[in-house]
C-alpha cells in the first residue's frame, strides 16, 4: 500500500469511527432498519437469510465494527473478507446483491446519522464498503474457481 493510500485510509477511518459513534446508541435499531429496508426493496433476497434474524443482526453489526476498527490496515481485513465472500457465494449471493446492500446500508446510515452524514462521511463509507464488497467478491471468485477445479 502506498503512503498516499495509507493516509487516505487513515482519514477515512477517522470519518468512519466518528460517524459510527453518532449512531452507536441506536446500533441495534439501525441494523433492524437496514434489514427492513433491504427486504422491502429487494424481497428476493429474504430467503437467503434465516427466519430468526437475531444472530444475523449481531453478525452484521460485528462486521461493520470490525471494518471500521481495522480500516486503517485494510490488508489485515483481506483474508477474513475473502473467506466471508466465499461463504456468501455458497449461499447464492450475486454481485448485484452487494449493490443492493450498499444502497440500503448508505440510506440507513444517512437516516440515522442525520446532518452528521456529510458528503465526506458518505464518501468514506462508499470507499470502505467498496473495498469490503470487492474483496468479498474476489474471495467468492476464488472459491468458485476452486470448486470447479475440484
CATH of the domain at 9: 1.10.490.10
The 8-class DSSP code of residue 115 comes to G
| Count, residues in the chain | 150
Q: Place 150 in a pLDDT band, splitting at 50, 70 and 90.
A: very low
DSSP 8-state secondary structure symbol assigned to residue 116: G
Q: Taking the C-alpha atoms of 104, 13, 74 and 89 in order, what is their torsion angle to the nearest 10 degrees?
A: -10
- Domains in the chain, number: 1
**Residue 90 pLDDT:** 87
Q: How far is CA 96 from CA 15, 42, 48, 64, 128, in A?
A: 27, 11, 14, 20, 17
Q: What is the pLDDT, as a whole number, of residue 141?
A: 84
- Residue 115 binned pLDDT confidence (cut-offs 50, 70, 90): very high
Over residues 47-99, the pLDDT tens digits come to 999 999 999 999 999 999 999 999 998 888 999 999 999 999 888 898 999 99
pLDDT digits (tens, 9 = 90+) for 130-142: 999 999 999 888 7
Arithmetic mean of pLDDT, 106-127: 97
- Candidates 39, 3, 17; CA nearest to 128 is 17
pLDDT score of 15? 96
Domain that holds residue 52: 3-149
The end-to-end CA distance of the chain, in Å, is 33
Q: What share of the chain is helix, strand, coil (3-state, %, to 5)?
A: 85, 0, 15
Amino acid at each position: 500500500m502506498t503512503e498516499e493510500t495509507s493516509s487516505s485510509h487513515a482519514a477515512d477511518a477517522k470519518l468512519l469511527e466518528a460517524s459510527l459513534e453518532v449512531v452507536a446508541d441506536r446500533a441495534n435499531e439501525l441494523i433492524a432498519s437496514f434489514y427492513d429496508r433491504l427486504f422491502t426493496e429487494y424481497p428476493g433476497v429474504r430467503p437467503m437469510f434465516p427466519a430468526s434474524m437475531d444472530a444475523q443482526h449481531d453478525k452484521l453489526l460485528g462486521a461493520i465494527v470490525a471494518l471500521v476498527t481495522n480500516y486503517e490496515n485494510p490488508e489485515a481485513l483481506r483474508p477474513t473478507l475473502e473467506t466471508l465472500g466465499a461463504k456468501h457465494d455458497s449461499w447464492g449471493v450475486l454481485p448485484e446483491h452487494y449493490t443492493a446492500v450498499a444502497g440500503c446500508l448508505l440510506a440507513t446510515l444517512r437516516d440515522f446519522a442525520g446532518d452528521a452524514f456529510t458528503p465526506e462521511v458518505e464518501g468514506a463509507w462508499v470507499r470502505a464498503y467498496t473495498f469490503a464488497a470487492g474483496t468479498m467478491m474476489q474471495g467468492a471468485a476464488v472459491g468458485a474457481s476452486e470448486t470447479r477445479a475440484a
